[in-house]
Amino acid sequence: MCTYTTERAAIDGSAKGPNGSWFHVTDATVYFDHPVHAMAGHTLNIDLTDPSRGPSARVAVELTAASARDLVAAIQAALAAVPAELTR
């Protein structure tokens, strides 16, 4: 069953895309749906993009639900381990 639940966030960062080129990313789209490539029935899909640069300025990730939860925990742990002034 597909929920079509999609979350969007404005972000500020960089991503390594096609041909090993780095580009600025401004938008994150997160949704749970059928994957395009991953070998799973459903995955948490994350697209990091810069819409001003067209469709090629995109990095996509498809994670199993367990892997997505592990990634969230790892991100939280990494941010909690550094002094707060470094994360501002």
For the residues 6-19, what does the mean pLDDT come to?
94
For the beta sheet containing 58-63, the strands, ordered from the edge strand earlier in sequence to the opposite edge, are: 6-16, 22-33, 43-49, 58-63
Q: For residue range 13-59, what is the model confidence (pLDDT) as tens digits?
A: 999 987 888 999 999 999 999 888 989 989 999 999 999 999 889 99
Report field, pTM of the whole predicted structure over 0.85: yes
For the residues 67-73, what does the mean pLDDT come to?
98
Task: Return the pLDDT at 64.
Answer: 96
Task: Return the pLDDT at 2.
Answer: 73
- Distance between CA atoms of 3 and 52, rounded to whole angstroms? 28
